[in-house]
Chains A and B, each alone.
Chain A
Amino acid sequence: MQSGCAKLVDPIDLEYFLPENKVEKKAEKCPPDIFFSLETNPITDGSAYIEVGEIKVSCSVNGPTEMRQDSQLVAVLKFASFLSWLPKDVQASIEKKLSRLLLSAIEPSVMLHQFPRGKYEIVTNILDIPSYNSSGLIGNCLAAAITCAGLALLNSGVQMYDLLVGLNLDLSALGNENGHLCVAVLPRLRQFSMLYAVDSCMPNTEFLKDSLTHAMDNCIKLADVIRSHLCGQLKTKIK
């Protein structure tokens, strides 16, 4: 016999508390505000730290060391362990993909023939990401990592064709409904070393051409800012 059992008139399902996937639309500045410093890790051959908006990236370069079985360039991109924004297996899969894209962005900018049988290791750590969730977050992290890796390679003294600059272009500024295009650019040579677009849909080839032209112009501005600050730091160090 059950007594004193009060039943709920209208039971609430537990799924009521599951949050909807809210995507905030925040205006992104293009080219973004950056802060960078070199030689943040003195025990490595080259290191750099960069802040692009709210994304913080640190990168270390070791080399040239003698290579045994792997290739001349080894690029690793990792999110810090205290960033728990995704499940572990999804994060590991994204890290592998971004590491491969980072390697393909770095490879055209380095003079590989100058160190035969030598190996450079580039380790990139994403230290902080914005708290809001946006569809272009992975592209933003990749672009910041590419710029940071370019600065770290510059600091390590490896011979490069050009300074490597990464940019995640918001395609809604060009009239498209939504989407991002992540580019890695050698600005003085006017060449693209990596392209990556996953959440965009461009109507035709002309739109792609306009997007790439816009991305190249913004990367040239960003590279000019970086180069002028590097020259300023060099002059300050000489005095």
Chain B
Amino acid sequence: MDTVLLSDLERFYLVQGVEVGCRMDGRGPSEYRPLEIETNILSHATGSASIRIGETFIVCCVKMEVGKPSLTNTSEGRIEINVECYPTATHRCNEKAASELEERLKTTLQSAYQLKFIDLSPLCIQRGRQCWVIYIDLLILEGAGNLLDASSLVVKAALLNATQSNSLLLSVFQNNSESLEAGVQQFHGDMLPLFITVHKIGKAYLIDASKEEEACSLSRLSLVIYPDGSIGSLEQDGCCSCQLESIVEMSQLASIVGKKLNHALVKTLELERQLRS
């Protein structure tokens, strides 16, 4: 992984501070850095958004075009996610680290958008011949840690921005309660995935790790949290293994923070729409 170089004293200072409950910038364990989201920043796109978490800066653009469906799902549309990373956004400032980061983010986000909650059959124009293709392009301009959470947040904001101007996308990403059976739980809102990454540093668990905290992280659990609190895709990796209790505590922390973040995002976009009109 692309991490910064830290001396042993810096690492010790950071780990001790995190275990006491004080981070280097004064945040608590479940607090985000200052978060700025802006939508409708590109005029030629169906939906667009940009996000800043601390010094991380990512731009997302959503475009819809008519294309051919895939051979395995002939009666559905497609979602194609492409990630472009500037070499200066990585620590080593070279093309190899940037392409590794691109590939990793692309596969993780692509797998999270292949669930059954997203019904792509309204995007079919003619079965086997033509369908709508949603192209999601991510541009990572500055990387200061927590790129997966920032990427999923900006993709969700861009798609929600696209649903405001496109009624076809509204039927894909917004679940209607009339179309569900009576026994199924009623969803009022979107079911777009949102990644929350919890890092284990020493004996503490952190949300929204910065670059230095990612370098000191022993293990990392990334979960998709839906707005109703359910857990989707999950991935745990790192250089150390975890006990069962650690994973349960990490997932509980991610679930609490994920519900709040989903709610805050929808509320913020609603306020932005009211201010613009």
Binding site for B on A (CB under 8 A): 13, 15, 18, 20-21, 93, 96-97, 100-101, 104-105, 107-109, 186, 189-205, 207-209, 212-213, 216
Asked, given contacts A104-B237, A198-B111, A201-B115, whether A192 binds B247 with beta carbons under 8 Å apart, the answer is yes
CB neighbours of B112 from chain A (8 A): 198
Contact B128 A193 (CB under 8 A): no
Distance, CA A204 to CA B235, complexed state (A) = 16
Would B231 and A15 count as touching, CB distance under 8 A?
A: no
Q: Are B240 and A108 in contact (CB under 8 A)?
A: yes
Contacts of B240 in A (CB 8 A): 108
Across the interface, A192 reaches (CB within 8 A) one of B74, B129, B239, B242, namely: B242
| Minimal Cβ-Cβ distance residue in A for B71 | A18
Known: A18-B128, A209-B244. A204 touches B230 (CB 8 A): yes
Q: Is the CB of A213 within 8 A of B251?
A: no
B-side residues, CB < 8 A to A, are 71-74, 103-104, 106-107, 111-112, 114-115, 117, 127-129, 221, 226, 229-244, 247-248, 251-252, 255
Please, which residue of chain A has its CB at the minimum distance from the CB of B221? A195
Which B residues are CB-close (under 8 A) to A196? Answer: 234-236
A197 CB, nearest partner CB in chain B, Å? 5
Q: Would you mind naming 20 contact pairs between A and B with Cβ atoms under 8 Å apart?
A: A15-B127, A15-B128, A15-B129, A18-B74, A21-B72, A21-B73, A104-B238, A192-B242, A194-B237, A195-B235, A197-B233, A197-B235, A198-B111, A201-B115, A201-B232, A202-B232, A203-B230, A204-B255, A208-B247, A208-B251
Cβ A192 vs Cβ B244 within 8 A? yes
Q: Which residues of B contact A198 (CB under 8 A)?
A: 111-112, 114, 233
Which residues of chain B are near A209, meaning CB under 8 Å?
A: 244, 248
**Docked pose: A118 CA to B236 CA in angstroms:** 26
* Cα separation A195 to B242 with both chains bound (whole Å): 10
Contact in complex: B244, A205 (CB < 8 Å): no
A186 to B244: give the CA distance in the assembly, Å. 12
Most buried by B among A101, A104, A105: A104
On whether A191 and B243 interact (CB within 8 A), knowing A96-B103, A100-B104, A202-B231, the answer reads: yes
Whether B73 pairs with A205 at a CB distance below 8 angstroms is no
Indicate if the CB atoms of B234 and A195 lie closer than 8 Å. Answer: yes
**Chain B interface mostly:** mixed
- What B residues does A199 contact at CB under 8 A? 114-115
Interface pair A201/B230, CB less than 8 Å apart: yes
Which of chain B's residues have a CB closer than 8 A to the CB of A100? 104, 237
Contacts of B221 in A (CB 8 A): 195
Which of chain A's residues have a CB closer than 8 A to the CB of B111? 198
**Do A195 and B236 touch (CB < 8 A)?**
yes
Q: Which residue of B lies closest to A206 (CB)?
A: B248
- Contact assessment for B244 and A213 in the assembled complex, using a CB-CB cutoff below 8 Å: yes
Chain B residues with CB under 8 A of A192 = 236, 241-244, 247
Minimum CB–CB distance for B127 against chain A, Å: 6
Which B residues are CB-close (under 8 A) to A201? 115, 117, 226, 230-232
- Residue contact B244 to A190, C-beta cutoff 8 Å: yes
> Which residues on the B side are within 8 Å of A203 (C-beta)?
230-231
Contact among B104, B107, B231 with A204 in the assembled complex (CB-CB below 8 Å): B231
Instruction: Determine whether the beta carbon of B231 is less than 8 Å from that of A93.
Output: no
Q: Are A204 and B229 within 8 A (Cβ)?
A: yes
Q: Once the chains are docked, how many angstroms separate the CA of A99 from the CA of B106?
A: 15
Q: Which residues of A contact B231 (CB under 8 A)?
A: 201-205, 207-208
Q: How far is the CA of A192 from the CA of B238 in the complex (A)?
A: 11
**Which residues of chain A have C-beta atoms less than 8 A from B226's C-beta?**
201
- Give CA–CA (A93, B82) in the complex, Å: 13
Whether A108 contacts B241 by the Cβ 8 Å rule is yes
Tell me which residues across on chain B come within 8 A of A204, comparing CB atoms: 229-231, 255
Q: Which residue of A lies closest to B128 (CB)?
A: A15
Judging by beta carbons under 8 Å apart, are A200 and B232 in contact? yes
3 smallest CB-CB distances across A and B, nearest first, come from A15-B128, A104-B237, A195-B236
